[in-house]
């Protein structure tokens, strides 16, 4: 597969290290540029990190106030497959404020997300003088797209929320309905349609710096015996929900009307420690998976009682997050506290060893993992090592192509030698990364949240997601 090595090398060139004064030829020969390897390299005196803008079609940053541990992209009516800039996106997020009463659920719209048009074939070398330097996330107010238009505008509304929001999820079938896990132990369901409609109908409502704050009662709430993080709406049955807590209990919510739910008071019990994440099967309405601090993953069928249909040891440490592939439903990805990532083929569970890929690239806890909604072999991962990585399991090492690429680029970049061939892209620049999501309606777009705010990024080498690529 010819695109693998080229894209991988491009990804590794994303962050460059250069000495101060680089580019001033009158001061002497130009200082060579090298790829920064987080966790391996150290900045020497006089060196600084620089982002390579050619690695992105689009990169923007924004903040809505207090840090957000969790967010969700809201499905909208602007088009199912959008490939032309500028883009508009809607989100909902929950804050981690200093005091419980200061927290809120933020509903926000980001418009005029600018970027570069995609090349059908990625450029390895060439004149980059015409590229927008819009990847400077320090000041997005100066961003301009290729037509000279100003960069993104943020509009925000807030709904008061008692306690920090551990996780928030928008319902697939009715995106204005969301469920939020609070550190107070409550899972609450909210109808945010008024706020989404208000933002959609106005270009000034909730403009940054003047966000309106609303008091609103949730549609429904349920109290667990402890706080938790695991929660997921069924993609197949509207309103069906599961929530798991730190006391190893999982509860099933069945909708009884548009605004009420019946929560079965008898929990699903199978894990011996905190339930960290839950995912419904993308193809079977009665089946979901869960992962736990006990190192295991369990598969459940709600028709078969309150014990797991299957359970297996998944990692040697806490299993923090998981993702069920919606394009290839036999594939399940998980990320652990020890930084490892495992990919399993669920069809092989009965044979004992279902692991089809295992990566130890990250050295710190995995905080989020999600399969691409447009490419069955691709997934994105975030880690406490301040890296967001994109992987393509279909890629293999091509020695001849890699040698050719290195020959072309040896004067430009000193690339690391030991990265896995499946590692397609490395994004850095955020501190304490918490969660990421692909945009299901904008191929190639990823949004991530961290302690210092949000990033919207579109790597330039994610080309296979475009319908026109012929991939």
- 390 vs 222, 289, 329, 438, 452, CA distance in Å? 36, 23, 20, 11, 21
Q: Domain 224-385: what homologous superfamily?
A: YVTN repeat-like/Quinoprotein amine dehydrogenase (2.130.10.10)
**Cα–Cα distance measured from residue 383 to residue 335, given in angstroms and rounded to the nearest whole number:** 9
**Cα–Cα distance measured from residue 356 to residue 345, given in angstroms and rounded to the nearest whole number:** 7
Domain ranges of the chain: 1-51+399-420, 58-179+191-218+436-463, 224-385
Task: Provide the whole-model pTM.
Answer: 0.85
pLDDT tens for the chain, 471 residues long, are: 222 222 222 333 333 332 223 333 333 445 566 666 666 677 777 777 777 888 999 999 999 989 999 999 999 999 999 999 999 999 999 999 999 999 999 999 999 999 986 544 333 333 332 223 333 333 333 345 444 557 899 999 999 999 999 999 999 999 999 999 999 999 999 999 999 999 999 998 888 667 889 999 999 999 999 999 999 999 999 999 999 999 999 999 999 988 899 999 999 999 999 999 999 999 999 999 999 999 999 999 999 999 999 999 999 999 999 999 999 999 999 999 999 999 999 999 988 889 999 999 999 999 999 999 999 999 999 999 999 999 999 998 666 766 665 666 555 555 566 789 999 999 999 999 999 999 999 999 999 999 999 999 999 988 544 443 333
Contact criterion met (CB below 8 Å) for 160 and 192 = no
Per DSSP bridges, beta strands 331-336 and 56-62 are unpaired
Contact criterion met (CB below 8 Å) for 198 and 158 = no
């Amino acid at each position: 597969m010819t695109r693998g090595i080229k894209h991988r090398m491009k990804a590794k060139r994303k962050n460059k290290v250069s000495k101060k004064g680089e580019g001033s030829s009158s001061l002497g020969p130009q200082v060579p540029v090298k790829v920064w390897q987080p966790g391996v390299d150290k900045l020497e005196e006089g060196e600084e990190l620089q982002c390579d803008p050619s690695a992105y079609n689009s990169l923007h940053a924004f903040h809505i106030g207090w840090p957000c541990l969790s967010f969700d992209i809201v499905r909208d009516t602007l088009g199912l497959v959008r490939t032309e800039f500028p883009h508009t996106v809607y989100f909902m997020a929950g804050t981690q404020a200093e005091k419980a009463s200061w927290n809120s659920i933020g509903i926000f719209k980001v418009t005029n997300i600018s970027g570069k048009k995609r090349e059908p074939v990625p450029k390895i070398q060439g004149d980059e003088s015409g590229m927008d330097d819009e990847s400077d996330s320090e000041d997005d107010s100066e961003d301009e797209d290729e037509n000279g238009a100003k960069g993104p505008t943020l509009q925000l509304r807030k709904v008061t929320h008692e306690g920090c929001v551990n996780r928030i999820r928008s319902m697939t079938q009715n995106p204005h309905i969301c469920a939020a896990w609070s550190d107070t132990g409550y899972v609450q369901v909210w109808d945010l349609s008024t706020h989404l409609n208000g933002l959609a109908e106005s270009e000034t409502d909730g403009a940054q710096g003047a966000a309106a704050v609303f008091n609103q009662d949730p549609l429904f709430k349920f109290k667990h015996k402890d706080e938790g993080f695991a929660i997921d709406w069924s993609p197949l049955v509207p309103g069906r929900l599961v929530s798991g807590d730190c006391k190893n209990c999982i509860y099933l919510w069945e909708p009884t009307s548009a605004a009420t739910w019946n929560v079965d008071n008898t929990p699903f019990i199978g894990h011996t420690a905190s339930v960290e994440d839950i995912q419904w099967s993308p193809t079977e309405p009665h089946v979901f998976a869960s992962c736990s601090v006990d190192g295991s993953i369990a598969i459940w069928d709600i028709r078969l009682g309150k014990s797991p249909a299957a359970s297996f040891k998944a990692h040697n440490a806490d299993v923090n997050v998981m993702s069920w592939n919606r394009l290839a439903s036999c594939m399940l990805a998980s990320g652990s506290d020890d930084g490892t990532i495992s990919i399993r083929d669920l069809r092989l569970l009965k044979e004992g060893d279902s692991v089809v890929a295992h990566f130890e690239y990250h050295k710190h806890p995995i905080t989020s993992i999600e399969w691409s909604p447009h490419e069955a072999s691709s997934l994105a991962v975030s880690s406490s090592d301040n890296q967001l990585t994109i992987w393509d399991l279909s890629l293999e090492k091509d020695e001849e192509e890699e040698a050719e690429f290195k020959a072309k680029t040896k004067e430009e970049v000193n690339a690391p030698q030991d990265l896995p061939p499946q590692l397609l892209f490395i994004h850095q620049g955020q501190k304490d990364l918490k969660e990421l999501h692909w945009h299901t309606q904008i191929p190639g777009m990823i949004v991530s949240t961290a302690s210092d705010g949000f990033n919207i990024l579109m790597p330039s080498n994610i080309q296979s997601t475009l319908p026109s690529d012929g991939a």
